[in-house]
A and B are shown apart, each in its own frame.
Chain A
Amino acid sequence: MIVRLLAAALVCVGLAPAAQAQSAQFKGWSAVSRELSTRLARPGAPLDLDRFMPAEDVDGLLGTWNGFGDEHTFKNGAPNSVNMMIWRVALSRFAKSVAASCKTPELDFSDRFLDTLEKLCTWPSAFAKSDAVLSEFWFAVMGYNAPEAEYRAWREFFLASAYRDRPAADAVEAMTFAITMNPFFLLHR
């Protein structure tokens, strides 16, 4: 399995253009939390996303402006194995919570997002696979941060892969996780 994963990674590396001199940086946990709250929460009631963090006080490792005792610069924004691990843990927990909300909302989501989620939660119904439902969910979580190509790739993946027939609990979790791990969601540029 590990060999296959590495092979997959190498396929991507091989396809990717040479990295530019500048590398994009993570937005940071605070910015991502704020964006998610704006899109998904009830007005004025930010989502408590800190509970998905694997430990206390590690949010600064995901990119932060905070500091004390010197001028502030953006720190820890460059992707590395540690902050990727933290993102992965936090956002996979978030994704799991969104999927679990198909039955009982675990977060204080807005009515509008709950409506959107309810439609997707009928997966693998044909209705849930419609472009209207999928794009509504995509925009609800991603906002308009990504180009259309990203949406198409995401949609086609879930319509064509084994997720096509998986239960909603699995599919919604994977869909949410795929959106939130997308570089257009996580990175500054």
Chain B
Amino acid sequence: MDFCFRLARALSASRFIVVIALTLSAFAASRGAAESRDLPGELQALQEHAAPAPAAGDAAWQKRWWIEKTARLLRGGEGLGPGDDVDALLKLPEEEIARRFMADRRFGDSILDFNMFFLGFKIDSLKSDGAYKRNAFDFPNAVAAAQALLTGGDYLKLFDLKGPFYMAPLPQEFDDPLPANETRLPAETVRIKAIDEVEAVYVRLINMGSAPVPPAADDFCYEIEKVLEGAAAMHTRMLRAFNDPEIFVLRRGQVLTKPMEIIARAYRAECADKDEAKVDVKHLTAEIRRAFDYYYRAIGEMLKFEPSRYRPQSVLDFQEFDLGVFGLKSWLAFGWEQSNALKNSSTNFNRKRGAYILKRFFCDDLTPVGFETPKEHVSGAHGSDTTCYACHYKLDPMAGFFRNLGADFYNYGRSLMVVFDDDANSDRKRYSAHWAAAPGAARHWNIGYIRSPRFEQANAYGASVGDLSRILREAPEPKRCLMKRLYQYFVAEDQAIDAAYLDELTRQFETEAAANSSTAMKNAIVRIVLSNAYRQPDADPRQCYDRAPGTQREGAPPCGVAYILEKNCAQCHSGASPSGGLDLTRWVTAPGGPMPSFPHRGIDEKPVPPHETLTRIVERLSTSDPTQRMPKQKTMASQERQALFLWAQEEQARLAKGARP
């Protein structure tokens, strides 16, 4: 019977019929067509034999279940196997078990998987046939943070949007078809062949320019000109030996373009701007050699990632790429996949990228809940319309951090133009001017994390991606977001969480992270796997199973919003004579009333109907009129305002349907 209950919860009734039919038909099929038993009768037998739900005495079963679940979550998806001594584990305290699992090599996979979940790019499995998939390398801040966690380092590298680069092993198969004469060659051989073809071009020019008898300047310039004219075709031929993710690296590292730029500059200086007699062949040759050195060193570094010599077995084995060969000190954390997912255009002004940062690092889903009228007039600007500004006031300043990053997050900061993912381009200075602060403002750019358009002192401003990383590390919201995602990852994405409990998790994390963020993260994981919600085999997603100490009390509003109300509203809306007659700290069923609601009395002292109360709450949360907007003269975190607003709307809908909360 329990089987039926479980399945029915998973499926709607109509789907359930199909499933049962399929399941029973499977049994029937296994018996053969000649079988002639009474299936419904057999099903009934199954139901009769089913024991009731596990009793409290089934502690060993319950603990084994907890161990299995925890093993799976902390050991890269691998639950208990034949190598685990379950009986020995059963004797250990749960915290000890969790810490043992975190000491396992596979914990690195779990934490990388979580980091990718945090960044919004989790995949089903980090490995395929025992080797890490390319995606696992694509988020350098996720890798760096995972490595740090395993070695007691700085886990908050997860918030660094610039840092090391971890290239994936080079591909063993190509996405595009090879020429017929290469189809049977191993990928590495094709790659070496393609690289050598380009190398031969450089070597021929260098040999020509450094021959004992130097070439005639005109001839040499002609040869260089031919190479420059054929560069695009030459590079296209070479790229047959790489797939798009590696081409992305070649492009960001300017492996093919920079050498050609060096040669082109020398060609212009010597061949185009001078008389033939004054052409310095030695200088030309030296510049070609410099170009070749750049190419050679960059390619040499990339070839260290051939699968024949680079096959990491754990996250700790992920190898940093030597960015010095690209002349870079750090690598932008937005890699190949994010470049595809977070494209910009000549018209969206990086808003998709801004929305991504708000959503993933600040847990701000940009639910439009009205806005506070800013002190500064914004009329006429895109997104300044009343409704739109509810999101744009924070979205546009966040997008500004990416103003120099064009297509594929390529840095155009030193270029005159910015090229976007839609292949359009724009004058960079004119484009950047969209984020310029008004003349006389204390700052140069209207770029930052905006908590309030009205109270600027609440905001965190900056100008560069480096500044954004600093804000992510310093602001409290990303750490709270990190704890929220951790809870979602280990418990369930849709499980209600008491805001006070989340704040308490965050407070403990922040306190411990001040000393060591890896220890803090591991402790946070332990707290969650020991939580009540984590232990529920069949949790009700609307119920909060965990509370901060001292916050649980009878008659409190629903857990999803109780703490938000306590924190932002209770100062006025509580006690014997609450403001407006509305007590937002209690949740009671009025005598004869069908549903619980906030105690609310009008000016005439008569009870205000629950739907009317909720309507007023929604209005007061979303109005942009500072005299009406709640909480008055206070900055309420937009995440909390959104949560309360959405909850009130859901309650309204529930009331309309007559359903109980």
B79 engages A143 (CB within 8 Å)? yes
Fill in one digit per residue for A13-55: 1 if any B CB lies within 8 Å of its CB, else 0: 1011101111111001111001100110001101000000000
Fill in one digit per residue for B558-600: 1 if any A CB lies within 8 Å of its CB, else 0: 0000000000000000000000000000000000000000000
Interface membership of B247, Cβ < 8 A: no
Interface membership of A72, Cβ < 8 A: yes
A5 engages B21 (CB within 8 Å)? yes
B494 engages A71 (CB within 8 Å)? no
B79 engages A35 (CB within 8 Å)? yes
Chain A residues whose CB sits within 8 angstroms of the CB of B44 once the complex forms: 11
B125 engages A30 (CB within 8 Å)? yes
Interface membership of A58, Cβ < 8 A: no
A115, chain B: closest CB distance, angstroms: 10
State A21–B37 Cα separation when bound (angstroms): 37
Interface membership of B323, Cβ < 8 A: no
> Which of A9, A84, A160 has the most C-beta atoms of chain B within 10 angstroms of its own C-beta?
A9
Among the 9-residue stretches A61-69, A100-108, A122-130, the one with 4 or more Cβ atoms under 8 Å from chain B is A61-69
Interface membership of B61, Cβ < 8 A: yes
Fill in one digit per residue for B589-618: 1 if any A CB lies within 8 Å of its CB, else 0: 000000000000000000000000000000
Partner of B37, one of A39, A72, A162: A162
Partner of A19, one of B12, B31, B86: B12
A160 engages B3 (CB within 8 Å)? no
Partner of A157, one of B18, B49, B129, B356: B49
Which size class do A's interface residues fall under?
A: 35 or more
A71 engages B72 (CB within 8 Å)? no
State A62–B50 Cα separation when bound (angstroms): 28
State A150–B47 Cα separation when bound (angstroms): 11
Chain A residues whose CB sits within 8 angstroms of the CB of B72 once the complex forms: 35
State A143–B50 Cα separation when bound (angstroms): 19
- Chain B stretch 451-500: residues in CB contact (< 8 A) with chain A: 492-494
Interface membership of B511, Cβ < 8 A: no
A112 engages B26 (CB within 8 Å)? no
A143 engages B68 (CB within 8 Å)? yes
Interface membership of B658, Cβ < 8 A: no
A165, chain B: closest CB distance, angstroms: 12
Interface membership of B2, Cβ < 8 A: yes
Chain A residues whose CB sits within 8 angstroms of the CB of B130 once the complex forms: 44, 46
A64, chain B: closest CB distance, angstroms: 6
Give chain A's interface residues, CB within 8 Å of chain B: 1-2, 4-13, 15-17, 19-25, 28-31, 34-35, 38-39, 43-44, 46, 64-66, 68-72, 74, 79-81, 84-85, 88, 92, 95-96, 110, 112-113, 143-150, 152-153, 156-157, 160-162, 166, 170, 173-174, 177-178, 181-184, 187-189
Can you list 6 A-B pairs, Cβ within 8 angstroms, ordered by A?
Answer: A9-B20, A15-B1, A17-B5, A24-B10, A149-B50, A181-B23
Give chain B's interface residues, CB within 8 Å of chain A: 1-13, 15-32, 35, 37-40, 42-47, 49-54, 58, 61-62, 64-65, 67-69, 72, 77-83, 86, 120-125, 129-130, 337, 340-341, 356, 359-360, 492-494, 537-542
User: Knowing that A65-B124, A148-B61 are A-B contacts, what are 16 other residue pairs whose CB atoms are under 8 Å apart, sorted by A's residue number?
Assistant: A11-B43, A11-B44, A13-B16, A17-B8, A21-B541, A22-B541, A29-B124, A79-B11, A88-B26, A113-B82, A144-B65, A144-B80, A148-B51, A149-B51, A156-B49, A174-B30
